[in-house]
Amino acid sequence: MATKRKPPKKAEPLDVSARLAEALAEKQQTESHAHQDAPVVGDIVTVGTGKSELRITKVYDNGQAVDLELPGTNLERFRVPVEDLDFVERQPRKPKEPPKPKIDVAEVREHIAAVHHSIIDHINGEIAILKKYLKSKGISSGSLDEFCKATEAGWKDAVEAIEDELED
């Protein structure tokens, strides 16, 4: 006669949200280096009590770990914690400035020309139609000519201002 097996105990359901919150709290507690103390590529360091001078080749995790190489060789160490490093030579720190976006001047000029063709030519065409209509009704359209000239002058001023900014 076979013995009855007991059913396995039901595992408690995992509380994923609590574990996630706990992991995030631990991550926030890890020390992040200030901008001036953060290692940068090119710094020369030693590890622990070692005497070999190694160069930083990559920085990970907001400056928490680095890759190192022994200059002149193929020897590398990966993901070394910054706490284990002693800095021998530091690279000059550059203040963080947002990089200026590179502007394709030819593309900007081409786009301005296309808009000029689209807007100014359309306005002039519509005004010509309106003037013809007003003339057929016996109404003077001199103010529309002034409007066209003012629009052209305003457009030229705007384009000149954009060109000046592109040259800087």
Query: Which of the four pLDDT bands, split at 50, 70 and 90, describes residue 13?
Result: low
The pLDDT of residue 5: 78
In a domain, residue 12? The reply is: no
**113 and 74 within one domain:** no
Residue 26 within a domain: no
Does residue 134 fall inside a structural domain?
Answer: yes
CATH number at residue 55: 2.30.30
| Number of domains forming the structure of the chain | 2
In a domain, 28, yes or no: no
What does the alpha-carbon distance between residue 72 and residue 120 come to, in Å, rounded to a whole number?
64
Query: Are both 76 and 45 inside the same structural domain?
Result: yes
**In-domain check, residue 20:** no
Both 74 and 110 in one domain: the answer is no
Q: Would you state the pLDDT for residue 37?
A: 73
Q: How far is 112 from 92, CA to CA, in rounded Å?
A: 42
pLDDT, mean of residues 44-72: 91
Is residue 38 predicted with pLDDT exceeding 80?
Answer: yes
Average pLDDT over residues 4-27: 72
Domain-located, residue 1: no
Residue range(s) defining the domain that contains residue 132: 105-167
43 shares its domain with 86: yes
For 102-132, write each residue's pLDDT tens digit. 888 889 889 998 998 888 888 889 999 999 9
Q: Which of 54, 51, 85, 58 is nearest to 72 (CA)?
A: 54
Per-residue pLDDT of 136-163, as tens digits, reads 999 888 888 888 889 889 999 999 999 8
75 neighbors 53 (Cβ within 8 angstroms):
no
